[in-house]
Chains A and B, each alone.
Chain A
Amino acid sequence: EAGVAQSPRYKIIEKRQSVAFWCNPISGHATLYWYQQILGQGPKLLIQFQNNGVVDDSQLPKDRFSAERLKGVDSTLKIQPAKLEDSAVYLCASSLVLAVSSEQFFGPGTRLTVL
């Protein structure tokens, strides 16, 4: 089966600019996650969707980050305006359902560099 798709794979912007990332989860997966991974650290959950509803966005910096999952399928994560400390890999993951036994499948990530 096709995996989680993300685009773009790489993005370089200047601080104060805006950027958007796109994620297409595995077909039929109800749960979608966005993680931020700073170099040398483990992934940090930003937001979690169940279908098109938000389950958890407690760690999303809402003054600059936003995310949506229209129609419960694809999702976009936006940063506006970007700061230097937003340089990281942004990972999208999906799981079949929100359950203990449901493994998360990760995409390859988008590497963002903010200059």
Chain B
Amino acid sequence: DAKTTQPPSMDCAEGRAANLPCNHSTISGNEYVYWYRQIHSQGPQYIIHGLKNNETNEMASLIITEDRKSSTLILPHATLRDTAVYYCIVNNYGQNFVFGPGTRLSVLP
């Protein structure tokens, strides 16, 4: 079973920030938080990962709470091409990933 809980779906207006939450209350000290997304009919795509510090790359920002029990993926300026299922995964050492059902993000024009 997945170690994370995500809302099944969310909407976001084009050009606005999309904030996708993830709860991982049983995360262990050596486990990282990973985010992947899957656009329709494609394989999943890596977005970002982090341990305890906030992380930012060209795609998104990852905000992890101080107690590490939850995190938020932020897409700063969502576009229609960001419509996808977003998966939050908790894992150590990068193996044996367990994908949950994820959050279906719809970016609306």
Please list the residues of chain A having a beta carbon within 8 angstroms of any beta carbon in chain B: 4, 31, 33, 35, 40-45, 48, 55-56, 91, 93, 95, 98-109
Contact = CB atoms under 8 A, between A and B. Distances in A.
A95 B45 contact: no
A37 B98 CA distance: 12
Contacts of A108: 41-43
Contacts of A44: 99
A42 B102 contact: yes
A31 B45 CA distance: 16
B96 A56 contact: yes
B44 to A, nearest CB: 5
Nearest to B102: A42
Contacts of B94: 95, 98-102
Interface residues of B, number: 23
A98 B93 contact: yes
A31 B96 CA distance: 12
Given A35-B99, A93-B44, 5 more contacts: A41-B101, A45-B97, A99-B93, A100-B92, A104-B44
Contact of A103 (B42, B46, B85, B100): B46
A45 B49 contact: no
A33 B49 CA distance: 19
Contacts of B92: 100
A76 B94 CA distance: 22
Contacts of B87: 42
